[in-house]
Amino acid sequence: VLADDLVELDLTHTGVILIIIFLVHYAILKFRYHDASEVRLRKKIEEQSMLDGLTNLPNRRSFDRALQQEWQHCLRADSPLALLLCDIDFFKNYNDSLGHLAGDECLKKVARSLRKAAQRPTDFVGRYGGEEFVFVLPNTDLEGASKVAKSVHQHLLASKIQHGASEVSEHITMSIGIAACIPSQDDSAMALLESSDKRLYAAKEHGRNRSVADEALEAMLDEAVADLC
């Protein structure tokens, strides 16, 4: 009888131990699943914070990060880096004539056209702000960047987005400032951005619906500004 009692006691202990092991194992699996879910959620939130909510293109924050990363990469590789700053021509007129909802739809269509112009996996295209968009083109010189800008104009023309309030075309067009350099320790990504911004201004000053990659035009504008000061 004592032996039977001992066997029953051992079986009871074994059952309790198995239950404890099962509960511990279940708790570990649940914790890991919860932890993995949190990681996925944080990653999703991080990804969404880097996208423009309207066009679903990378936003200004994403551009700032991409520009610095590509600048450092091209600096180490001693390879060229190009930047395109693009602005929709007379977009204020578009909003004023058709309303902001139509303007939002227009921005979405423009974004789709710009995606087509960024053909390499390494090409970055994002919304810089408002009606401005930007390309970051690693391993690309001024000639290569000019070809991308030409592709932007072609894709926009093919999209045929009506713009009755434009002063240069019946369709949506863009002015583009193009700049490129081989990054060095004596220069900065901000200087490249400023150069593309000056050339965008030159494109607007010389009639819009065009790209400017000419340093001479940039210098002329600098002189004109200096004369005004």
State the catalytic residues. 131
98 and 187 Cβ atoms separated by less than 8 Å: no
Alpha helices in the chain (DSSP H): 2-49, 60-77, 91-98, 100-117, 142-159, 189-205, 215-228
Whole-number Å distance between alpha carbons of 188 and 192: 7
The residues, ordered by sequence, that sit 6+ positions from 203 with a Cβ below 8 Å of its Cβ are: 175, 176, 177, 210, 211, 212
Q: Note the residue count of the chain.
A: 229
Structure tokens at 45: 């939130």
Residue 170 DSSP class = S
